[in-house]
Structure 1
Amino acid sequence: MPRGRFPDALSLLAQTTSPRRRTIVEHAAPKAGTVHLEQTELVYELTEDLVRLVERTEPDPGPEPGSVEHSQADFEAIADALLSKGAPDTLTVFAYGSLIWNPEFEHEKVVRAVATGWHRSFCLKLIRWRGTRELPALMLALDRGGACEGP
Protein backbone atom coordinates (compact mmCIF):
# COMPACT_ATOMS: atom_id res chain seq x y z
CA MET A 1 0.00 0.00 0.00
CA PRO A 2 1.54 3.40 -0.94
CA ARG A 3 2.63 5.53 2.02
CA GLY A 4 -0.02 7.95 3.23
CA ARG A 5 -2.82 6.46 1.11
CA PHE A 6 -5.50 4.13 2.42
CA PRO A 7 -8.29 2.27 0.67
CA ASP A 8 -11.80 3.12 1.77
CA ALA A 9 -12.97 1.48 4.99
CA LEU A 10 -15.32 -1.09 3.42
CA SER A 11 -12.63 -2.23 0.99
CA LEU A 12 -10.16 -2.53 3.86
CA LEU A 13 -12.64 -4.56 5.92
CA ALA A 14 -13.38 -6.85 2.99
CA GLN A 15 -9.68 -7.52 2.44
CA THR A 16 -8.77 -8.18 6.05
CA THR A 17 -11.71 -9.74 7.84
CA SER A 18 -14.19 -12.46 7.27
CA PRO A 19 -17.59 -11.27 8.43
CA ARG A 20 -20.07 -13.45 10.23
CA ARG A 21 -23.71 -13.31 9.26
CA ARG A 22 -26.36 -12.34 11.78
CA THR A 23 -30.04 -12.78 11.08
CA ILE A 24 -32.45 -10.24 12.46
CA VAL A 25 -36.09 -11.29 12.75
CA GLU A 26 -38.80 -8.73 13.45
CA HIS A 27 -42.45 -9.45 14.11
CA ALA A 28 -45.10 -6.80 13.82
CA ALA A 29 -48.83 -7.04 14.34
CA PRO A 30 -50.55 -4.58 12.01
CA LYS A 31 -54.37 -4.35 11.82
CA ALA A 32 -54.81 -7.18 9.31
CA GLY A 33 -52.52 -10.05 10.34
CA THR A 34 -48.89 -10.59 11.29
CA VAL A 35 -45.84 -9.50 9.29
CA HIS A 36 -42.60 -11.47 9.53
CA LEU A 37 -39.51 -9.55 8.42
CA GLU A 38 -36.15 -11.25 8.18
CA GLN A 39 -32.94 -9.50 7.28
CA THR A 40 -29.34 -10.64 7.24
CA GLU A 41 -26.49 -8.29 8.03
CA LEU A 42 -22.75 -8.75 7.89
CA VAL A 43 -21.02 -8.17 11.21
CA TYR A 44 -17.33 -7.30 11.08
CA GLU A 45 -15.08 -7.62 14.07
CA LEU A 46 -12.16 -5.32 14.82
CA THR A 47 -9.09 -7.54 14.87
CA GLU A 48 -5.44 -6.86 15.72
CA ASP A 49 -4.56 -7.43 12.05
CA LEU A 50 -7.03 -4.74 11.01
CA VAL A 51 -5.71 -2.28 13.60
CA ARG A 52 -2.14 -2.88 12.39
CA LEU A 53 -3.20 -1.91 8.85
CA VAL A 54 -4.34 1.55 9.87
CA GLU A 55 -1.40 2.39 12.10
CA ARG A 56 0.67 5.00 10.37
CA THR A 57 4.12 6.05 11.50
CA GLU A 58 5.34 9.23 9.89
CA PRO A 59 8.83 10.69 10.19
CA ASP A 60 8.84 14.13 11.82
CA PRO A 61 9.54 16.70 9.08
CA GLY A 62 10.23 19.39 11.66
CA PRO A 63 8.38 22.67 12.15
CA GLU A 64 6.66 24.57 9.37
CA PRO A 65 9.10 26.63 7.33
CA GLY A 66 9.48 30.05 8.94
CA SER A 67 8.22 28.96 12.37
CA VAL A 68 10.33 28.78 15.50
CA GLU A 69 10.02 26.04 18.10
CA HIS A 70 9.97 27.05 21.76
CA SER A 71 12.78 25.80 23.96
CA GLN A 72 12.33 24.59 27.53
CA ALA A 73 13.64 27.99 28.67
CA ASP A 74 10.94 29.68 26.54
CA PHE A 75 8.21 27.59 28.18
CA GLU A 76 9.56 28.36 31.65
CA ALA A 77 9.63 32.11 30.86
CA ILE A 78 6.01 31.97 29.63
CA ALA A 79 4.94 30.10 32.80
CA ASP A 80 6.81 32.59 35.00
CA ALA A 81 5.17 35.54 33.20
CA LEU A 82 1.71 34.05 33.69
CA LEU A 83 2.34 33.23 37.36
CA SER A 84 3.75 36.72 38.02
CA LYS A 85 0.25 38.08 37.35
CA GLY A 86 -0.99 36.11 40.34
CA ALA A 87 -0.55 32.44 41.14
CA PRO A 88 -3.91 30.79 41.79
CA ASP A 89 -4.47 28.85 45.01
CA THR A 90 -6.27 26.23 42.95
CA LEU A 91 -6.31 25.41 39.27
CA THR A 92 -9.38 24.02 37.55
CA VAL A 93 -8.79 22.02 34.36
CA PHE A 94 -11.68 21.18 32.04
CA ALA A 95 -11.12 17.64 30.72
CA TYR A 96 -12.88 16.77 27.47
CA GLY A 97 -10.66 14.09 25.87
CA SER A 98 -7.92 11.81 27.12
CA LEU A 99 -7.55 13.93 30.27
CA ILE A 100 -10.78 12.31 31.42
CA TRP A 101 -9.26 8.82 31.66
CA ASN A 102 -5.53 9.62 31.67
CA PRO A 103 -4.90 12.97 33.39
CA GLU A 104 -1.07 12.63 33.63
CA PHE A 105 -1.00 14.88 36.70
CA GLU A 106 -2.07 14.60 40.32
CA HIS A 107 -5.47 16.04 41.12
CA GLU A 108 -7.59 16.38 44.26
CA LYS A 109 -11.06 15.80 42.87
CA VAL A 110 -13.18 15.35 39.76
CA VAL A 111 -16.23 17.57 39.27
CA ARG A 112 -18.74 17.30 36.44
CA ALA A 113 -18.89 20.48 34.32
CA VAL A 114 -20.28 21.81 31.04
CA ALA A 115 -18.39 24.13 28.69
CA THR A 116 -21.24 26.11 27.14
CA GLY A 117 -20.44 27.52 23.72
CA TRP A 118 -17.90 24.77 22.89
CA HIS A 119 -18.22 21.25 21.52
CA ARG A 120 -15.84 18.34 20.89
CA SER A 121 -14.69 18.19 17.29
CA PHE A 122 -11.92 16.57 15.25
CA CYS A 123 -10.83 20.04 14.13
CA LEU A 124 -7.16 20.19 15.13
CA LYS A 125 -4.97 19.37 12.12
CA LEU A 126 -1.68 17.65 12.93
CA ILE A 127 1.04 17.95 10.32
CA ARG A 128 3.74 16.34 12.45
CA TRP A 129 3.97 12.87 14.06
CA ARG A 130 0.48 11.55 13.25
CA GLY A 131 0.06 13.35 9.95
CA THR A 132 1.94 15.13 7.20
CA ARG A 133 1.61 18.49 5.45
CA GLU A 134 0.14 16.61 2.48
CA LEU A 135 -2.18 14.40 4.58
CA PRO A 136 -2.93 16.02 7.96
CA ALA A 137 -4.24 13.87 10.79
CA LEU A 138 -7.14 15.13 12.87
CA MET A 139 -7.17 15.35 16.66
CA LEU A 140 -10.02 15.99 19.05
CA ALA A 141 -10.23 19.58 20.28
CA LEU A 142 -12.90 22.07 21.35
CA ASP A 143 -14.58 24.11 18.63
CA ARG A 144 -17.07 26.99 18.86
CA GLY A 145 -20.77 26.29 19.32
CA GLY A 146 -22.90 23.84 21.27
CA ALA A 147 -21.89 22.47 24.64
CA CYS A 148 -19.37 19.96 25.92
CA GLU A 149 -19.73 17.91 29.10
CA GLY A 150 -16.68 16.95 31.13
CA PRO A 151 -16.45 14.29 33.84
Structure 2
Amino acid sequence: MIHRQIQRPTGAFIGASWLALAAGVIAFVVGLWNASMALNEKGYYFTVLMYGLFSAVSLQKSVRDRLEGVPVTGLYYGLCWVSLGLCVMLLAIGLWNATLALSEKGFYAMAFLLALFGSVAVQKNVRDLALLGDSHDAREPVAES
Protein backbone atom coordinates (compact mmCIF):
# COMPACT_ATOMS: atom_id res chain seq x y z
CA MET A 1 0.00 0.00 0.00
CA ILE A 2 1.15 3.49 -0.86
CA HIS A 3 0.10 6.32 1.40
CA ARG A 4 -0.75 9.42 -0.58
CA GLN A 5 -0.75 12.82 1.07
CA ILE A 6 -4.02 14.66 0.55
CA GLN A 7 -3.59 18.41 0.72
CA ARG A 8 -6.36 20.62 2.02
CA PRO A 9 -7.29 23.14 -0.70
CA THR A 10 -6.68 26.71 0.39
CA GLY A 11 -9.58 29.02 1.05
CA ALA A 12 -8.43 31.18 -1.85
CA PHE A 13 -8.55 28.25 -4.29
CA ILE A 14 -11.95 27.15 -3.01
CA GLY A 15 -13.29 30.69 -3.38
CA ALA A 16 -11.75 31.14 -6.82
CA SER A 17 -13.23 27.81 -7.95
CA TRP A 18 -16.74 28.71 -6.84
CA LEU A 19 -16.34 32.20 -8.32
CA ALA A 20 -15.25 30.74 -11.68
CA LEU A 21 -18.21 28.35 -11.72
CA ALA A 22 -20.71 31.04 -10.72
CA ALA A 23 -19.27 33.64 -13.08
CA GLY A 24 -19.30 31.26 -16.04
CA VAL A 25 -22.81 29.96 -15.45
CA ILE A 26 -24.32 33.34 -14.56
CA ALA A 27 -22.68 35.10 -17.51
CA PHE A 28 -23.82 32.39 -19.92
CA VAL A 29 -27.41 32.38 -18.58
CA VAL A 30 -27.68 36.18 -18.44
CA GLY A 31 -26.36 36.29 -22.00
CA LEU A 32 -29.06 33.83 -23.04
CA TRP A 33 -31.74 35.75 -21.15
CA ASN A 34 -30.85 38.97 -22.95
CA ALA A 35 -30.24 37.39 -26.35
CA SER A 36 -32.61 38.12 -29.21
CA MET A 37 -32.85 34.50 -30.34
CA ALA A 38 -35.76 32.10 -30.45
CA LEU A 39 -36.68 30.28 -27.26
CA ASN A 40 -35.72 26.92 -28.77
CA GLU A 41 -32.20 28.28 -29.48
CA LYS A 42 -31.91 29.49 -25.89
CA GLY A 43 -33.02 26.04 -24.73
CA TYR A 44 -30.41 24.39 -26.94
CA TYR A 45 -27.56 26.48 -25.52
CA PHE A 46 -28.79 26.06 -21.94
CA THR A 47 -29.01 22.29 -22.39
CA VAL A 48 -25.49 22.18 -23.84
CA LEU A 49 -24.26 24.15 -20.81
CA MET A 50 -25.90 21.76 -18.33
CA TYR A 51 -24.70 18.72 -20.27
CA GLY A 52 -21.19 20.17 -20.35
CA LEU A 53 -21.13 20.79 -16.61
CA PHE A 54 -22.30 17.26 -15.89
CA SER A 55 -19.88 15.63 -18.31
CA ALA A 56 -16.89 17.65 -17.05
CA VAL A 57 -17.59 16.70 -13.43
CA SER A 58 -18.19 13.08 -14.38
CA LEU A 59 -14.93 12.92 -16.32
CA GLN A 60 -12.97 14.55 -13.49
CA LYS A 61 -14.43 12.07 -11.01
CA SER A 62 -13.62 9.12 -13.26
CA VAL A 63 -10.03 10.27 -13.77
CA ARG A 64 -9.56 10.77 -10.04
CA ASP A 65 -11.21 7.45 -9.21
CA ARG A 66 -8.78 5.66 -11.51
CA LEU A 67 -5.81 7.47 -9.97
CA GLU A 68 -6.98 6.42 -6.50
CA GLY A 69 -7.53 2.79 -7.47
CA VAL A 70 -11.34 2.97 -7.47
CA PRO A 71 -12.66 0.72 -10.23
CA VAL A 72 -14.01 2.59 -13.25
CA THR A 73 -14.92 0.59 -16.33
CA GLY A 74 -13.22 1.47 -19.57
CA LEU A 75 -16.63 1.91 -21.17
CA TYR A 76 -17.74 4.55 -18.65
CA TYR A 77 -14.36 6.28 -18.76
CA GLY A 78 -14.53 6.43 -22.56
CA LEU A 79 -18.12 7.66 -22.48
CA CYS A 80 -17.06 10.49 -20.16
CA TRP A 81 -14.44 11.63 -22.68
CA VAL A 82 -16.86 11.29 -25.62
CA SER A 83 -19.55 13.14 -23.68
CA LEU A 84 -17.31 16.09 -22.87
CA GLY A 85 -16.04 16.25 -26.44
CA LEU A 86 -19.58 16.04 -27.77
CA CYS A 87 -20.89 18.93 -25.69
CA VAL A 88 -17.93 21.13 -26.66
CA MET A 89 -18.50 20.18 -30.30
CA LEU A 90 -22.26 20.90 -30.02
CA LEU A 91 -21.53 24.35 -28.63
CA ALA A 92 -18.94 25.03 -31.33
CA ILE A 93 -21.29 23.92 -34.13
CA GLY A 94 -24.15 25.92 -32.65
CA LEU A 95 -22.06 29.06 -32.37
CA TRP A 96 -20.51 28.60 -35.81
CA ASN A 97 -23.97 28.50 -37.40
CA ALA A 98 -25.55 31.14 -35.16
CA THR A 99 -26.46 34.55 -36.51
CA LEU A 100 -24.60 36.28 -33.69
CA ALA A 101 -21.83 38.85 -33.77
CA LEU A 102 -18.34 37.39 -33.36
CA SER A 103 -18.07 39.12 -29.99
CA GLU A 104 -21.23 37.35 -28.80
CA LYS A 105 -19.96 34.00 -30.03
CA GLY A 106 -16.70 34.57 -28.16
CA PHE A 107 -18.60 35.60 -25.05
CA TYR A 108 -20.62 32.37 -25.01
CA ALA A 109 -17.54 30.23 -25.70
CA MET A 110 -15.51 31.85 -22.90
CA ALA A 111 -18.37 31.74 -20.39
CA PHE A 112 -18.91 28.06 -21.25
CA LEU A 113 -15.23 27.17 -20.80
CA LEU A 114 -15.03 29.15 -17.55
CA ALA A 115 -18.06 27.28 -16.21
CA LEU A 116 -16.52 23.91 -17.18
CA PHE A 117 -13.25 24.80 -15.48
CA GLY A 118 -15.09 26.00 -12.39
CA SER A 119 -17.17 22.83 -12.16
CA VAL A 120 -14.08 20.62 -12.30
CA ALA A 121 -12.25 22.70 -9.69
CA VAL A 122 -15.26 22.78 -7.36
CA GLN A 123 -15.71 19.01 -7.66
CA LYS A 124 -12.03 18.48 -6.85
CA ASN A 125 -12.27 20.69 -3.78
CA VAL A 126 -15.46 19.03 -2.57
CA ARG A 127 -13.85 15.61 -2.93
CA ASP A 128 -10.60 16.64 -1.23
CA LEU A 129 -12.48 18.14 1.70
CA ALA A 130 -14.72 15.08 2.00
CA LEU A 131 -11.68 12.78 2.10
CA LEU A 132 -10.02 14.93 4.73
CA GLY A 133 -13.06 15.21 6.95
CA ASP A 134 -12.03 17.39 9.87
CA SER A 135 -8.36 16.43 9.65
CA HIS A 136 -5.78 18.83 8.23
CA ASP A 137 -3.21 16.08 7.62
CA ALA A 138 -4.84 12.87 6.46
CA ARG A 139 -3.20 9.96 4.73
CA GLU A 140 -5.26 7.79 2.45
CA PRO A 141 -4.10 4.28 1.56
CA VAL A 142 -3.96 3.76 -2.18
CA ALA A 143 -3.56 0.34 -3.73
CA GLU A 144 -0.45 -0.18 -5.85
CA SER A 145 -0.95 -1.15 -9.45
Q: TM-score, normalised by structure 2?
A: 0.22
Larger strand percent: 1
Q: TM-score, normalised by structure 1?
A: 0.22
Rg larger for = 1
Where relative contact order (Cα < 8 A, 6+ residues apart) is larger, the structure is: 2
